[in-house]
Amino acid sequence: MSKLLTNGVLAALALAATQTPAGAHVALVDSVPAKRQEVMHEMPRIRLIFSGKADALYSTVALADEKGRVLAEATQKEASHEMTLPPQALSSGAYQIRYRVLATDGDVVEGRVDFVVSDMFPSASYQEAAAPPSD
């Protein structure tokens, strides 16, 4: 009888371990740009998508350069699965999107997305040097 009870308890624990709780924490599920992406084109916006809603007024997103200087920052306007920053004119270099999300379950989730911007177009001096001489 105790072996049957033990097996039943083990089966219940195994089942419980595979279930996602209703109050699961919010997690970043997608971003534009993606983590560690090399960006070689203009971005229409910076966008983070989460598994749950980020609470309004207490959820923030910021863009920082490789020296840690904040270039842009926004606070969530309404509860949403998505947080955005308007397009930024970025020169070549490493950047970091930092986010702090207050989930509707009260949990605070912080994280970052690192990405790199590469030269999108040759520099003007390169173009001038490559141009044929004018007569």
Q: Is residue 53 part of a domain?
A: yes
- Number of domains making up the chain: 1
Q: Average pLDDT in the 95-106 region?
A: 93
Q: Which of 82, 84, 94, 76 is nearest to 35 (CA)?
A: 94
Token code pair at residue 17: 């371990």
Q: Is residue 91 part of a domain?
A: yes
Q: Are 41 and 56 in contact (CB under 8 A)?
A: no
| Mean pLDDT, rounded, of the chain | 79
Which secondary-structure segment (H or E) carries 108?
A: strand 108-117
Q: Average pLDDT in the 113-119 region?
A: 94
Q: Is residue 43 part of a domain?
A: yes
Q: Is residue 114 part of a domain?
A: yes
Q: Are strands 60-65 and 70-75 parallel, antiparallel or unpaired?
A: antiparallel
CATH number at residue 114: 2.60.40.1220
Q: Is residue 128 part of a domain?
A: no
pLDDT tens per residue, range 33-87? 999 999 998 888 999 999 999 888 889 999 999 999 999 999 988 899 999 999 8
- Residues of the domain holding 57: 25-120
Q: Percent of the chain, pLDDT > 70?
A: 70
